């Protein structure tokens, strides 16, 4: 049976990019394999955070997983720090990873910006991400395009570990959605939509009110022409709207291009906003109910037990292979 693993950071309310690039593709995968979806709270510690806010965001992100359609009877939903094997496995892999390859990670270069005061955790977190994945003997990792380089590192570490210590780890495949791999910022379609963007006009969060969604789409940056055409290079703004519209409605991009011929950008913007509102309204209702009921805490308690049970054997194999003395 195929093992699927993915995680998201509880660093804010997830946005449309997180939803379309990652979360939405989790849902069908729970039907075909054994899947583990993690809230990676340890990763969130790589930059300073308010502790109370981090705790709240962590629980909320698990709520978003369920509200988006993950079924806790089919998929394991859990918090990374509830399974201590992740941190231990990360140390073992840090002793296999090389400073050179970690220095080349673009996310470290972007977020750390070569600053002496960037945390050591920011530098090594791709190794923790590799441990997250490899401890579950994962076959498939569904993520957005920005995670591609980290997934290549994960594969390299698994291959190197196996070469050095024997065949212990499964080398996972990355699964990136073709069209929604990189949802762009509404205020700047040259850059990906991002939780940490300087302006709120960049993203639509999963908890955004309909009025605000409409306003943000109406103000979305496009170009000075008036031709609706899918061309991410030359028309990134319009192409981003078509991508979001298509992902929300299930209509192909070609169908949409035909539908909006000669209609102008205003129509496309308003219809895209309405398609987003139609998908987010029921998701938001499910989310608020889950948060109120406390059901999410039971789901996370069960998830933690299942996650620990799933990683124990691999961690023991890794330790044994590396020459650590085992207890008992």
Q: Which residues are annotated as a binding site?
A: 9-11, 17-18, 132, 144-146, 183, 192-196
Q: Judged by CB under 6 A, which of 39, 68, 97, 193 binds ligand AQP? A: 193
Q: Judged by CB under 6 A, which of 24, 86, 155, 192 binds ligand AQP? A: 192
**147 belongs to the binding site for ligand AQP (CB under 6 A):** yes
CA angle 14, 202, 15 (to 5 degrees): 10
Catalytic residue among 74, 148, 195, 259: 195
Instruction: Rank residues 169 and 193 by Cβ distance to ligand AQP and give the closer one.
Output: 193
CA pair distance 201, 182, nearest whole angstrom: 17
**194 belongs to the binding site for ligand AQP (CB under 6 A):** yes
Catalytic residue flag (residue 192): yes
Catalytic residue flag (residue 24): no
**189 belongs to the binding site for ligand AQP (CB under 6 A):** no
Q: Positive or negative, the Cα torsion across 135, 78, 56, 286? A: positive
Binding-site size for ligand AQP (CB under 6 A) equals: 19
Catalytic residue among 74, 111, 148, 319: 111
Residues contributing to the annotated binding site for L-tryptophan = 132
**140 belongs to the binding site for ligand AQP (CB under 6 A):** no
CA pair distance 216, 141, nearest whole angstrom: 31
Q: How far is the CB of 263 from ligand AQP (least distance, A)?
A: 26
Q: What's the distance, Cα to Cα, between the start and end of the chain in Å?
A: 32
CA angle 140, 141, 146 (to 5 degrees): 145
**153 belongs to the binding site for ligand AQP (CB under 6 A):** no
Q: Token pair for residue 100?
A: 């050179």
**Radius of gyration in angstroms for the set of CA atoms belonging to the chain, rounded to a whole number:** 21
Among residue numbers 20 through 39, which ones bind ligand AQP (CB under 6 A)?
21-22
Cα–Cα distances in angstroms (integers) from residue 254 to residues 91, 156, 189, 242, 251, in the given order: 48, 38, 20, 9, 8
CA pair distance 171, 137, nearest whole angstrom: 8
Question: Mind telling me the catalytic residues?
Answer: 111, 192, 195
Residues that bind ligand AQP (CB under 6 A): 8-9, 11, 17-18, 21-22, 143-144, 146-147, 181-183, 192-196
């Amino acid at each position: 049976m195929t093992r699927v693993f993915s995680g998201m950071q509880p660093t804010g309310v997830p946005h449309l990019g997180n939803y379309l690039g990652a979360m939405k593709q989790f849902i069908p995968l729970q039907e075909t394999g054994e899947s583990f979806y993690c809230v990676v709270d340890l990763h969130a510690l790589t930059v300073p955070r308010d502790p109370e806010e981090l705790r709240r965001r962590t629980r909320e992100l698990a709520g978003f997983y369920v509200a988006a359609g993950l079924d806790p009877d089919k998929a394991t939903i859990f918090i990374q720090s509830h399974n201590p094997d992740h941190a231990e496995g990360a140390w073992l892999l840090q002793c296999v990873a090389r400073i050179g390859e970690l220095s080349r990670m673009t996310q470290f270069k972007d977020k750390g910006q070569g600053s002496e005061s960037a945390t050591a955790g920011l530098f090594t977190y791709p190794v923790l991400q590799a441990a997250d994945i490899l401890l579950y003997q994962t076959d498939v990792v569904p993520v957005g395009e920005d995670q591609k380089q980290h997934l290549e590192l994960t594969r390299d570490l698994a291959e190197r570990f196996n070469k050095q210590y024997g065949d212990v780890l499964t080398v996972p495949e990355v699964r990136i959605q073709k069209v929604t791999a990189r949802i762009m910022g509404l205020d700047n379609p040259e850059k990906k939509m991002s939780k940490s963007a300087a302006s709120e006009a960049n993203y639509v969060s999963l908890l955004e009110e309909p009025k605000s969604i409409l306003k943000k789409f109406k103000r979305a940056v496009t170009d000075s022409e008036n031709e609706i055409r899918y061309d991410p290079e030359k028309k990134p703004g319009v192409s981003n709207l078509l991508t979001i519209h298509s992902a929300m409605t299930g209509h192909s991009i070609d169908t949409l291009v035909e539908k909006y011929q000669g209609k102008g950008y205003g129509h496309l913007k308003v219809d895209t906003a309405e398609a987003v509102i139609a998908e987010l309204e029921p998701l938001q209702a499910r989310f608020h109910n889950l948060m109120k009921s406390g059901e999410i805490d039971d789901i996370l308690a069960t998830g933690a037990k299942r996650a620990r049970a799933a990683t124990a054997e691999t961690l023991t194999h890794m330790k044994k292979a590396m020459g650590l003395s085992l207890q008992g």
